[in-house]
Amino acid sequence: MEGAWDVALVLFQVWLSIVVGLIMLPAMFGVSLGFTDIYIKVLVKILEWATLRIQRGQREQPTLPSQSANGIIEKKDGSMEEEIEELRRSHPKNLAGGDFTLCDVFYFCKNGIENIVEDQVTQRFTSEELASWNLLTRTNNNFRYISVRLTIIWGLGVFIRYCILLPLRITLAAIGLSWLVIGTTLVGLLPNSNAKSWLSDLVHITCYRICARGLSATIRYHNKENRPKKGGICVANHTSPIDIVILANDGCYAMVGQVHGGLLGVIQRSIVRSCPHVWFERSEMKDRHAVAKRLKDHIADKTKLPILIFPEGTCINNTSVMMFKKGSFEIGGTIYPVAIKYDPQFGDAFWNSAKYNMVSYILRMMTSWAIVCNVWYLPPMTRQDGEDAVNFANRVKSAIAYQGGLVDLSWDGGLKRAKVKESYKEEQQKMYSSMIVGSDSHEAFVDPM
Amino acid sequence: MGSRASSLLREEDIEEIKKETGFSHSQITRLYSRFHSLDKGENGALSREDFQRIPELAINPLGDRIINAFFPEGEDQVNFRGFMRTLAHFRPVEDNEKNKVLTPGEPLNSRTNKLLFAFRLYDLDRDDKISRDELLQVLRMMVGVNISDEQLGSIADRTIQEADTNGDMCISFNEFTKVLEKVDVEQKMSIRFLH
pLDDT tens across A349-394, in order? 888 887 888 888 888 888 888 888 999 999 999 998 888 899 999 9
Quickly state the pLDDT bin for B3 (edges 50, 70, 90): very low
Q: Is the pLDDT of residue A67 over 60?
A: no
Residue A270 near residue A387 (C-beta atoms within 8 A): no
The answer to whether the CB atoms of A141 and B25 lie below 8 A apart is no
* B194 with A68: Cβ contact below 8 A: yes
| Chain A CB within 8 Å of residue B101 CB | no
Residue pLDDT, tens place only, B21-76: 888 888 898 898 899 889 888 888 999 999 999 999 999 999 999 999 999 888 89
Share of chain A above pLDDT 90, in %: 18
Question: What's the pLDDT band for B1 if we cut at 50, 70, 90?
Answer: very low
pLDDT at A443: 42
Residue A188 CB-density burial (10 A; 0-12 exposed, 13-18 middle, 19+ buried): middle
Model confidence at A339: pLDDT above 90: yes
Mutation target to probe the A interface, by most A beta carbons within 10 A, among B24, B60, B108 is B60
Q: What is the ipTM of this complex?
A: 0.91
pLDDT tens digits, residue range B139-152? 999 998 888 999 88
Give A406: exposed, middle or buried? Use CB within 10 Å, 0-12, 13-18, 19+. Answer: buried
Which of B68, B143, B159, B161 should one mutate to test binding to chain A, selecting the residue with the greatest count of A CBs within 10 A?
Answer: B143
User: Taking the CA of residue A164 as centre, how many other CA atoms within 13 Å lie in the half-sphere pointing to its CB?
Assistant: 8
Contact residues on chain A for B90, CB-CB shorter than 8 A: 110, 113
Tell me what the pLDDT averaged over chain A comes to: 82
Q: Any CB–CB contact under 8 A between B33 and chain A?
A: yes
CA distance A381 to A333: 9
Chain B residue closest to A89 (CA)?
A: B183
Determine the Cα–Cα distance for residues A24 and A19; give it in Å rounded to an integer.
Answer: 6
Q: CB contact, 8 Å: A73 with chain B?
A: yes
Q: How would DSSP label each residue in A318-381?
A: SSEE-PPPGGGGSS-S-EEEEEEEE-TTT------TTT--HHHHHHHHHTSS-EEEEEEEPPPB
Output the pLDDT for position A91. Answer: 67
| Among candidate residues B103, B83, B112, the one with its CA nearest the CA of residue B173 | B112
The pLDDT > 70 percentage for chain B reads: 91
Task: Decide if A114 touches B, using CB distance below 8 A.
Answer: yes
- B29/A contact by beta carbon, under 8 A: yes
For residue A274, pLDDT over 90 is answered with no
| pLDDT tier, A342 (very low <50, low <70, confident <90, very high otherwise) | very high
Predicted pLDDT at A398: 94
How far is residue B110's CA from residue B186's CA, in Å, rounded to a whole number?
8
Q: What is the pTM of this model?
A: 0.81
User: How far is B60 from A211, CA to CA, in rounded Å?
Assistant: 46
pLDDT tens string A116-150:
998 888 888 888 777 667 777 666 655 566 677 77
The whole-angstrom distance between A181's CA and the closest CA on chain B is 37
Name the residue among A103, A110, A141 with its Cβ closest to that of B183. Answer: A103
**pLDDT of amino acid A439:** 44
3-class SS of residue A160:
helix
Answer whether A72 sits within 8 Å of B34, measured CB to CB. Answer: yes
